[in-house]
Amino acid sequence: MNDEQLLRYSRHILLDELGIEGQERLLASHALVIGAGGLGSPVALYLASAGVGRITLVDHDRVDTTNLQRQIAHNLERVGQPKAVSARTAMQAINPEVRIQTVLQRADAAALDALVPQADVVLDCTDNFATRHAVNRACVRHRVPLVSGAAIRFDGQLSVYDPRDASSPCYACVFPDTEGLEETRCATMGVFAPLVGIIGTMQAAEALKLLSGMGSKMVGRLLMLDGRELAFHDVRLARTPGCPVCGQA
């Protein structure tokens, strides 16, 4: 690290659990963020501010006025822009030395198979089960840890799935890919604005711990947040024998 970086990241370097070595790992790492909306906004901003050296943002959508209630990477001036481009602008304003790639398309199987093997961690910040399962399959196939978050109304969830760990479940172990499952999206159900900030910030925290070498204690756990009561519920997860995704890995 140069003198400017030593100053910028000094509050990380002061942490015994992180230090210079951990910060250098962050600077050399690559995070893949799927979704630049409610969850992806705080994820992208915190990964950039923390000095993750390379960040790839995948999002096919454009900024809409209704997004501004909660998607803090965007603003009125960038309404109509692709969300990934808007988020990149916000990230570069915080930390211009981070290399940011934008992918302006849906995260389909082909795109994920090209992008996931290049990443050290994947953060699922999407809002639909089909994409979450596609991301999970790619992470299992390429053995890349996945930090998964979800938020709707006043309820949030967080977990980390690490296919490098033989005991770790995958997303499909916990939420089987069932045809005909009804989607619940904030466009119809609503979402409390700070909730996506809370969950997205925790996703960023777990990703930074993985990338820095600290490791995540969220593997094999599902943390659920009731935003009405500000109550957290921690559920232990086990790998499902015969899981059609990780059972075949």
- pLDDT score, position 189: 81
- pLDDT score, position 234: 97
- pLDDT score, position 178: 79
Distance of alpha carbon 172 from alpha carbon 137, whole angstroms: 8
Residue 207, H or E segment: helix 193-212
- pLDDT score, position 155: 97
Distance of alpha carbon 243 from alpha carbon 179, whole angstroms: 16
- pLDDT score, position 181: 54
Low-confidence ranges of the chain (pLDDT < 70): 179-187, 248-249
- pLDDT score, position 217: 94
Verdict on whether the full-model pTM lies above 0.75? yes
- pLDDT score, position 207: 98
- pLDDT score, position 177: 87
Domain ranges in the chain? 19-248
CA dist 71 to 56, 87, 107, Å? 18, 10, 19
Nearest to 49 by CA among 104, 11, 1, 105: 11
Amino acid letter at 93? Answer: A
Nearest to 80 by CA among 66, 64, 59: 64
- By three-state DSSP, how is residue 160 classified? strand
Distance of alpha carbon 84 from alpha carbon 36, whole angstroms: 6
- pLDDT score, position 247: 87
Distance of alpha carbon 182 from alpha carbon 95, whole angstroms: 40
CATH of region 19-248, choose from 3.90.950.10, 3.40.50.720, 3.10.20.740, 3.30.465.10:
3.40.50.720
